[in-house]
Amino acid sequence: MTTQTALGIADEVLSQIEAASEKNFLPIIGPFKGKYLGEEVRKAKPKHVLEVGTLIGYSAILMGKEMESQSEIVTIEIHRDEAELAGKNIVWANIPPKVKIITGDALEVIKDLEGLFDFVFIDAEKNEYFQYIKLAENKLQKGSVVFADNAGVFADQMGDYLDYVRKSGKYRSRYIQVGGDGVEISIKL
């Protein structure tokens, strides 16, 4: 199978999840904010991605489409049913990177992960974002990108996180408004 065909399948899986979400809402990042996520992954060319909050694999597939075969996504999902469905969708999408789905609470899982991550996508419990970044911080390096979803609609619940990435001096951070929501993109200094 050519790469072209494989990526066509990934697009088809993304479209089917978007259509399912129109019928029964799913809290996926969706195509509009997803365009920024895809662009940042394409620019950063990460080898090791950490995702917090897999749901059914939409954002992992969206990121994976932009990655090379010698790369890896580690994604954490607390609910077993979602993690299993994500596994099926990710296999079906046939994206280049290796994807490891860990079923468990990110607050427990992150500290035991080995190696460094050059890209982190945070999209789980909004009032836990600050804890996720603190747990992951010793696995980041200069230039690592931390992309946080829902920095508009859930800004109140993420206040400690947003203050930290904007004011700690450890990140260069910017907010991008997308429709009624937004994403916070923070680069480790």
Give Cα separations from 55 to 1, 58, 77, 131 (angstroms): 28, 8, 6, 19
Name which of 79 and 100 has its Cβ closer to ligand SAM.
79
Name which of 108 and 167 has its Cβ closer to ligand SAM.
108
CB-based contact 78:132 (threshold 8 Å): no
Among 58, 147, 154, 164, which residue interacts with ligand SAM (rule: CB under 6 A)? 58
Work out how close the CB of 17 gets to ligand SAM at its nearest, in angstroms, rounded to a whole number: 8
Tokens representing 47 are 């080898």
CB-based contact 120:49 (threshold 8 Å): yes
Among 13, 73, 113, 124, which residue interacts with ligand SAM (rule: CB under 6 A)? 124
Name which of 29 and 145 has its Cβ closer to ligand SAM.
29
Distance CA 136, CA 43 (A): 21
Any contact of residue 40 with ligand SAM (CB under 6 A)?
A: no
Q: Which stretch binds ligand SAM (CB under 6 A): 40-48, 89-97, 119-127, 136-144?
A: 119-127
Q: Which positions from 76 to 115 touch ligand SAM by CB under 6 A, shown as an x/- string?
A: xxxx--x----------------------xxx--------
**Residue with the CB atom nearest ligand SAM in the bound state:** 53
Residues that bind ligand SAM (CB under 6 A): 27-29, 53, 55, 58-59, 76-79, 82, 105-107, 123-125, 128
